[in-house]
């Protein structure tokens, strides 16, 4: 007797829809990559679609010679390193006590609401800018790192994950003489790697893609992170940091191909890192949001 496998139309339509959404997200990046490898004359006409025309690497050779671009990359790498480390450390140390029961931590509810209310109400740009000035952080890497040192959404994810860890593990550690500090770093953190990877990915993407704070907190363009630098080139079309020699080379290169090359190089690190952390991202969000 021949059995025919039934077609699950919902799964089929859902997969087709997700493929379509993926292509919609991918096509702009492919277009930018094609423009960056196209000749300046053809790119200026707007006839490049998804494949380079008049293939050339002149734009990337020009970017490779731009000291301002590589300085901005270095600033962004420093920001990602310091910001990611501080975000991860503070998230863990705040989420652990907030994950305890009310009998173990009497003021847990008060502190939880104190953090949560910051997600709804903010001081605003001007008070924040005044604080940064009073602390003397203008034109320093800490002006980009400290204002976002405690990501409250990540704290909520982490404390929910900590609550799901069986209490028997911590009780066994207490019986063996371990304190809270040892229990946190020897038990809670090792079993929370999916959520930690999720939080780290959120932090990396946020710090790497942020551009507005670089514009307002950095008076010297040489201190711009890469996204702020690209914003000045693409949106403001400012070439103030260009040397006379680079200005001469610009005569042989279209500003459209140059901007496309810098945009792609600016997005490349996240594109490379994301596939390795994506499986942790899905698992961490699902597990961390099960229990509120």
User: Within a domain: residue 32?
Assistant: no
Positive or negative, the Cα torsion across 277, 151, 145, 208?
Answer: positive
pLDDT digits (tens, 9 = 90+) for 69-86: 889 999 999 999 999 999
The answer to whether residue 142 sits within a structural domain is: yes
Asked whether residue 30 is domain-assigned, the answer is no
Would 4 be classed as within a structural domain?
Answer: no
Higher pLDDT, 249 or 154: 154
Q: What is the pLDDT of residues 202-246, one digit of tens each?
A: 898 899 988 899 999 998 888 899 888 888 876 665 555 556 665
Kindly state whether residue 150 falls inside one of the protein's structural domains: yes
At residue 288 the predicted structure's pLDDT band, cuts being 50, 70 and 90, is very low
Q: Over the chain, what is the mean pLDDT? A: 82
Query: Phi and psi for 155 in degrees, rounded to 5?
Result: -60, -40
Shortest CA distance to 202 belongs to which of 254, 99, 118, 274? Answer: 274
Range of the domain at 258: 58-288
| Predicted pLDDT at 1 | 45
| DSSP codes of every residue in 95-142 | HHHHTS-TTTSTTHHHHHHHHHGGGT----HHHHHHHHHHTT-TTSTH
Element (H, E) at 285: helix 255-288
pTM of the model as a whole? 0.77
- For residue 290, the model assigns a pLDDT of 45
Answer yes or no: is pLDDT of 166 > 80: yes
Q: What percent of the chain has pLDDT over 90?
A: 17
* pLDDT bucket at 112, cuts 50 / 70 / 90: confident
Rounded distance, CA 156 to CA 152, Å?
A: 6
Cβ(280)–Cβ(193) under 8 Å? yes
Would you say residue 44 lies in a domain? Answer: no
Is pLDDT above 60 for 3? no
Reduced to 3 states (helix: H, G, I; strand: E, B; else coil), residue 253 is: coil
Domain of 191, CATH number, reads 1.10.3720.10
Share above pLDDT 70 across residues of the chain, in percent, rounded to a whole number: 85
User: Is 229 within the bounds of a domain?
Assistant: yes
For residue 94, being part of any structural domain is answered with yes
Whether the CA torsion 119, 88, 274, 76 is positive or negative: it is positive
- What is residue 291's predicted lDDT score, i.e. its pLDDT? 45
pLDDT of residue 142: 93
Question: Which of 112, 92, 90, 93 lies closest to 101 in space, CA to CA?
Answer: 112
Question: For residue 36, what pLDDT band results from cuts at 50, 70 and 90?
Answer: confident
In total, how many domains does the chain have?
1
Mean pLDDT on 133-148 = 92
């Amino acid at each position: 007797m021949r059995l025919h496998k039934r077609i699950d139309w919902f799964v089929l339509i859902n997969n087709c829809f997700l493929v379509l959404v993926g292509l919609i997200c991918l096509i702009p990046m492919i277009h930018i990559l094609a423009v960056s490898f196209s000749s300046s004359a053809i790119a200026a006409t707007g006839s490049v679609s998804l494949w380079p025309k008049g293939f050339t690497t002149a734009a990337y050779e020009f970017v490779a010679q731009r000291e301002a671009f590589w300085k901005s990359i270095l600033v962004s790498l420093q920001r990602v390193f310091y910001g990611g480390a501080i975000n991860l450390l503070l998230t863990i140390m705040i989420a652990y006590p907030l994950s305890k029961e009310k009998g173990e931590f009497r003021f847990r509810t008060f502190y939880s609401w104190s953090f949560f209310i910051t997600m709804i109400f903010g001081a605003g740009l001007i008070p924040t800018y005044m604080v940064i000035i009073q602390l003397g952080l203008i034109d320093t890497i800490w002006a980009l790192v400290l204002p976002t040192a405690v990501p409250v959404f990540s704290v909520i994810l982490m404390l929910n994950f900590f609550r799901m860890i069986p209490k028997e593990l911590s009780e066994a550690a207490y019986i063996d003489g371990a304190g809270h500090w040892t229990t946190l770093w020897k038990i809670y953190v090792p079993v929370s790697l999916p959520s930690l990877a999720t939080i780290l990915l959120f932090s990396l993407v946020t710090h790497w893609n942020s551009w507005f704070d670089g514009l307002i907190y950095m008076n010297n363009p040489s201190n711009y992170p890469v996204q702020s630098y690209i914003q000045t080139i693409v949106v403001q079309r400012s070439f103030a940091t260009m040397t006379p020699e680079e200005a001469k080379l610009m005569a042989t290169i279209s500003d459209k191909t140059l901007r496309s090359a810098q945009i792609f190089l600016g997005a490349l690190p996240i594109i490379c890192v994301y596939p390795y952390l994506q499986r942790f991202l899905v698992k961490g969000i699902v597990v961390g949001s099960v229990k509120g």
